[in-house]
Amino acid sequence: MAEPAEQAEQAQQAEQAQQAKQPRRQKRVGMVSSTKGDKTIRVIVTSTFKHPRYGKYLRRQTKVAVHDPQNAAKLNDVVEIVPCRRISRTKSWRLLRIVRRGEQDMAIPASEVNP
């Protein structure tokens, strides 16, 4: 009969082998810029890179369409997204989780401005 320490080590090795087989999905973090579509949000993903010749760090922004099945994300939320199979012509990302809720516009209702 194997000792508990050996069993734990074998289980850990099996888990590591299974993780090595699974491809690591690239996760991106971005801010929600639009929620007008049903089950679709637009996310701005910012990436920085070093210019190959001049060494200056540049910032690029990309807008991607993201699948949000529960319509959980709101405007200005910071979200984490992962690639998935193509859902439509422009949509090949899905919402993984909402990292931080954004600040909504604090608009004053028209009835309270000048009653």
Ranges of each domain in the chain: 24-100
| Cβ-based neighbours of 22, under 8 Å, separated by 6 or more | none
Burial 14-25 (b: 16+ CB within 10 A, else e): eeeeeeeeeeee
Instruction: Using a cut of 0.75, tell me whether the model's pTM lies above it.
Output: no
Round to whole Å and give the CA distance between 6 and 8: 5
CATH code of the domain made up of 24-100 = 2.40.50.140
76 has pLDDT over 80: yes
How far is residue 58 from each of residues 3, 28, 31, measured CA to CA in Å?
A: 55, 18, 19
| pLDDT value, residue 31 | 95
pLDDT at 8: 74
More confident residue, 108 or 53: 53
Provide the pLDDT for residue 2: 55
